[in-house]
Amino acid sequence: MKQKLIVQIVTWNSDKFLKDCLNAVFNQTYRNFSVLVIDNGSRDRTIDILKKEYSKEVIKNNFKRKNSQLFIFQNSKNLGFSQAHNQGLYLIDSEFVLILNPDIILEPDFLDKIMKQAEKEKKVGSFSGKFLQIKSPLDDYQGKIKTKIIDSAGLSILKNRHILERGQGKEDEGQYDKEKDIFGVTGASALYRRQALEEIKIPLNKKDFEYFDQDFFAYQEDADLAWRLQLKGWTSLFVPLAKAYHYRGTGLKEKPKLIDIFKGHQSRPKQVELYSFRNHLWLLLKNEQGENFWRHFFWIFIYEAGKKSYLFFTKPDVLLKAGFSFWAGFFKMLKKRKIIMENAVVKPAEMRKWMKRARFYQ
């Protein structure tokens, strides 16, 4: 039997966040859903917490939802964000799927608010709520401070092809209280219509296919999926009444470099930089329409030159490894591009409405 909604969570050593996340999920006022957790070979207490504290009887006795179901699928190793979520999409069929990071805490009416719009807006393929940052003064994340700092109000794309979170880092003063169409939704918490995902999935061979690009492993896969949905004619909707909180930047402990201090942010770990830069290039290779590339070549060139210069002077080994990895997957990405472009229904001129100059992106 096809279910209405699956809340799908991928965990990897997530015991510090899991209780807050699942308690918020099971205490939703919306009731027609089940939860699927795909664990990527955690070595902490993640599995123990799931089995001992979220068994069927525990859920029945301790939460508002008396008929909740929690399914657990365990991998022996870390397969990454993309492949793990693809596994979940293979396992259980549902009309909608909420992709949820374990470090997200939903407000009690989050699903009510966002599902109301999902049921109403039949031509929308993905939905985003308003996400605010939550911080902890303790290393074990036991203390929680909910802030008014915006984490994400959906994804925007600029003329230089930088894809960023709308409003991130700004104080919430009501400037993002209007429901509106957006370029895409953040993978930290994204509601997708299953029909839309089925239309943009990419065959890997005669038997297998992917929704999220498994070669990305992690980072930029949400932007890739957003772009493919737009090319196929599926829009995205920002629903500000659906609110949640997100621990942003957890685990990024690398010491800042001088250039990063001038840029005003903490340096990201090398592995994150590698995946992010390589996947950004693959993202363009797969989804960029030729007409739009040449129209915006100046902005794209300047942005890419800046990114490469930054990595050259701060992490040259990352630049080198990312280059090798990009070219190793070049022809594989060209095959995916061929499929995407053959199925695209949105013309370049229509896509350009999303590609704004930096000061207009909000």
Which pLDDT tens digit goes with each residue over 201-258? Answer: 999 888 889 999 999 998 999 999 999 999 999 999 999 999 999 987 543 333 334 3
Average confidence score pLDDT of the chain:
89
Question: 34 with 182, same domain?
Answer: yes
- Residue whose C-alpha is closest to residue 102's, from 173, 41, 25, 157: 25
Whether residues 93 and 235 share a domain: the answer is: yes
Q: Is residue 58 part of a domain?
A: yes
- Could you tell me if 66 and 179 lie in one domain? yes
Q: Are residues 295 and 232 in the same domain?
A: no
pLDDT tens for residues 126-161? Answer: 999 999 999 876 655 566 889 999 999 999 999 999
Domain total of the chain: 2
From 177, 212, 246, the end of a domain falls on 246
Across the range 260-289, mean pLDDT stands at 79
What confidence category does residue 16 fall into, taking pLDDT thresholds of 50, 70 and 90? Answer: very high
pLDDT at position 261: 30
pLDDT at 343: 96
Give the pLDDT score at 267. Answer: 59
Its pTM stands at: 0.90
211 with 278, same domain: the answer is no
Are 319 and 203 contained in the same domain?
no
Instruction: Provide mean pLDDT across the span 270-282.
Output: 93
Question: Do residue 262 and residue 192 come from a single domain?
Answer: no
- Residue 329 counted as domain residue: yes
Q: Are 258 and 202 in contact (CB under 8 A)?
A: no
Residue where a domain terminates, one of 246, 270, 302: 246
Confidence of residue 67 (pLDDT cuts 50, 70, 90): low
Cα distance between the two ends of the chain? 41
CATH of the domain at 58: 3.90.550.10
Q: Any residues with CB less than 8 A from the CB of 78 and at least 6 apart, and which?
A: 12, 40, 41
Containing domain of residue 285, as a range?
258-360
pLDDT of 89 strictly over 80: yes
DSSP 50: H
Cα separation of 110 and 241, whole Å?
8
Does residue 127 lie in a domain region? yes
Q: Do residues 237 and 337 share a domain?
A: no
* One domain for residues 102 and 167: yes
What is the C-alpha separation between 74 and 257, in angstroms, rounded? 38
| Pairing relationship of beta strands 94-100 and 3-11 according to DSSP bridges | parallel
Q: Are residues 186 and 326 in the same domain?
A: no
Asked if 43 and 150 sit in the same domain, the reply is: yes
DSSP state of 359: G
- Say if residue 167 is in the same domain as residue 237: yes
Residue 230 domain-assigned?
yes
